[in-house]
Every structure is written in structure tokens, then in C-alpha cells.
Structure 1
Amino acid sequence: MKPSRTDRFGIVAVLAYAGPIALASLLACGSNNPAEPQGAATTAMAVAPTALRWQSFQGVDLPVAQEGPGRIDSVVATGFDRGPAGAALAAIHSTVRMSIATDSQWPLVGQRMLATGRGRDRWATARAQISITAPIATGAPKVLGYTITRYVLDAADVEIYSIHPDDSVIRNSTRVIWQDDDWRLLVPEDPMASSVTAVDLPPAEMVALAQR
């Protein structure tokens, strides 16, 4: 399978972040409705990850920082800080890894990086119906940064911005929840809930991730 530009972070769309953008409708924010952020958590949402570096996964560069992941075991990234930056990094890693993991890799990503529930089950069913056997060779998107629109200790809504070779910018709206002592991506139950949107430019308030 050779994904097109808009597929890259949506490579299993109906799967989650993956699949043609028309399919990339399975990763909108979940149905949970956490309380509004309070106190120091609100200001911390704009603090960038520290000691940032980049590590490639299947042809896409992913950010690694002091806030996580603390451990990368083959295809699985775990050990994210519970604060806002850790939540954002977890959202990025989970979304990208679930989207471009190969046929032999995606079950581990699903088991260890996605929140349990009907959304994950539906994603797994859809993912099993397509085949990804190789990394992205050319034209991989670049993660620019993120905004956190809502954060509490147990849940965070993260909008991830990426740029593609034709200079188009894509926003992917995600939600992570704190489950089993780590942040896990919450895949929505509604397969028609769209999460991927083309935008003119990233917002001014985006937490920019310094490129290599």
C-alpha cells in the first residue's frame, strides 16, 4: 500500500489516523467529556517539551523529549509524563504509529498504545482488512507542533499539525486518556467522526516542535 499525501497521517483512516482522508474519520475526539482545565495545568498547556530530539519510525520523524516516551520497545512507545507535554507527545506517537505500523507491527501498537474500548476494536477490525508492508519512502509529512485545547489529569484533547511536501498543512484532532499508568489514544466509536482537516496555516498559539 502506497499512501497519498493526505493519507500519510491518516493511513488507516477508518482505522484511525490511517487510510485515505475520506477514511480518516475514525480518529476524532472521543465521546468522553472531561472537566475544564484548572489552575497551573492551563498555563502548562503551552509549555514545549524539553530536550527535544527526533527519531524515525517507518519513514516519519517523531519527537522524543524528557516528557516522553521514556521507553521505545520495537514499535511501541510508552512512558509519557502525565503533564500536558507528555500527553501531546503520546498523542503524536500513538496516532502516527497506529497509522503506519506494518502488518506485523500494528497489533502491538493497538494493545499497548490505544485505550481499550469499542473504538479500538473497530479500528483493529478495519486495520486487518488492509496491508502496509513498508515504510514511507518519499514524501513523508513532518510534524510541526500541537495545541492542547483541554487538559485534566486523566484526559487531554490535542490537535496535531503536520506539513506535507506540497506545503499543505493538516490538523488532526485527537484525545488521549490516562489508562494503565500511561497516556493512551482514545479511538472514537463513531467511524464517521472526522478528525483530519486541511488548514491554511498552523495557529499562532501552536507549540512548535523545533525541526532537525
Structure 2
Amino acid sequence: MTCLVHFRTNTRLAVCAALAITLTVLSCSHDDDDGAPAAQPDLDLRTLPSGLRWIAFNNMQLPVARQGPAADKGAVVSGFEQSPVGAALAAIHATVRMSVALDSQWPAVTAAMLAPGPGRDEWAVLRTQISITETPSGEMPRIAGYRVERYTPETTEVSIYTRQTDSSLTRNATTVAWQSGDWKLLIAYQPPVSAVTAIETMPAEAVALTPA
């Protein structure tokens, strides 16, 4: 995997370890990028977020729009619209926040933004084995866009595209589920492969996000 750079040594290693755990436990079954998104009648999966702006969480820039999040409690955000855009924004926030959350933050992120189940429990056990006590500094990866692969009001598959600090591009396969009035990130239990793959370019169907 491409690791975050320019941190103090201990912080960099800890964040890299957290990212490695995250990218492994998020693995889900998706079609290859060359395939077109599954057709959804009367629903445009390429609708752009409206009122897009960016906020920082532990030095990572995250997109915010009218489709969510509506509430910001620091480490935890909530209030995502039950729509393709809302699902995509929820997937981005949950994935990034669980990856770079400090020791004092990750339990709240896990409880509020990840779907209950053995995958979440496994993630929590793995996360206790590392320590991140300082906000990382320096250049960070940037969320470049997303593609909604499949959408239903109950479960949505989202590919997240990230521009790494070495200018390479990666795709992260995620799934969110609508639970208790909001989207929650589903965590695979003992996934066989990593959810992240290196790609050359974002597909034409992807929604590109303007840099902050």
C-alpha cells in the first residue's frame, strides 16, 4: 500500500498500520472497474453533491454537501441523506475517519459510524494493537472522487478514489448499510483480500470531487 508521508516517525508508522488494517478489513465483493455500474431505474448514480465544501479531520480534507453530514461532533459526523450521494459521502467519511482517528477518537467513530457485527468487532481488536496520539502533519492523500456501483435504499456499494502523496491513484471498495436512520460502513469479517487496488485513472462514470 501507499503510505502517508512526512509525519513524525512514530505517528507515521501508527497511521500506516491503521490504514493497513482498514484497507484489509473493508474488503468487499465488487465488479472490476472496467464494468459499468449496475442499472438503477429512474435513479441517476452520477448526481453531483450540492453545495460542496471541505472540512479537515486530522489533516485529511473531507467533502461535505447538502446530502450530508448534517451534524458534526468532532470525530463523529452523522445525518447523511438516504440517496446515492448521501451514501457515497458517508462511505468516504467513515473510511477516512476510522483510518486516521486518534486513540481518543476511534472508539466513538467505531460505535457511531460502523455497522455492528463481527467485522466491526475484529476491527476494534486490531485497532487496540496500535497507538496514534498525534494528528499527522505534512502532505496527505486527497479524496479525488467516487463511483456508486450499486444503490438500494438499504445497501449501497461505493468505490472511493484517492490521490496518494506520490500522485498514484487507488480505488477503495466499500459498502454502507442504512441502519437506525443513517448510513453505516459495513466491515467484512476476515476478508481474503485487500479492498484497495491501484488504478491508472478514474472511470468516466465516477463523480470527481473538486480539491479543497
TM tier, smaller: 0.7 to 0.9
* TM-score normalised by L of structure 1: 0.87
The whole-number CA distance in structure 1 between the counterparts of 2:200 and 2:149 is: 19
Write the mapping of 1:52-71 to structure 2, written as runs, cut at 5 A.
52-71=52-71
Instruction: Name the counterpart of 1:183.
Output: 183
Which protein is richer in helix relative to its size?
2
Q: How does 1:144-163 map to 2 (within 5 A)?
A: 144-163=144-163
Q: CA deviation at 1:92?
A: 0.1
C-alpha distance in 2 between matches for 1:210 and 1:199: 19
Q: Which residue of 1 aligns with 2:12?
A: 3
Distance 1:138 1:78 in 2: 27
Are residues 1:164 and 2:171 paired?
no
Residues 192, 135 of structure 1: alpha-carbon distance in 2 compared, 3 angstrom cutoff: farther
In structure 2, relative to structure 1, the CA distance for the partners of 1:148 and 1:68 (3 Å cut) is: same
Residues 11 and 133 of structure 2 are in contact (CA less than 8 Å); yes or no, is this contact kept in structure 1? no
Secondary structure of the corresponding residue to residue 69 of structure 1: coil
Give the structure 1 partner of residue 197 of structure 2.
197
Q: Conserved in 2, the CA contact under 8 Å of 1:30 and 1:175?
A: no
The answer to whether the Cα contact below 8 Å between 1:151 and 1:157 also exists between their aligned partners in 2 is: yes
Amino acid at match of 1:28: S
Q: CA RMSD in A?
A: 1.8
Q: Report whether the alignment pairs 1:83 with 2:83.
A: yes
- Find the counterpart in structure 2 of residue 39 from structure 1: 41
Indicate the residue corresponding to 1:21 in structure 2.
none
Q: Secondary structure at the match of 2:86?
A: helix
The question of 1:48 aligning with 2:57 is answered: no
Displacement after TM superposition at 1:38 (Å): 3.3
Offset, 1:207: 0.2
Correspondence for 1:29? 28
Runs (4+) of structure 1 moved beyond 6 Å?
Answer: none
Unaligned runs of 5+ in 1: 17-23
Offset of 1:139 from its aligned partner?
A: 2.1
Structure 2 distance, partners of 1:148, 1:162, is: 15
**2:140 pairs with 1:133:** no
What's the CA shift for 1:179? 0.6
CA contact (8 A) 2:60 2:142 kept: yes
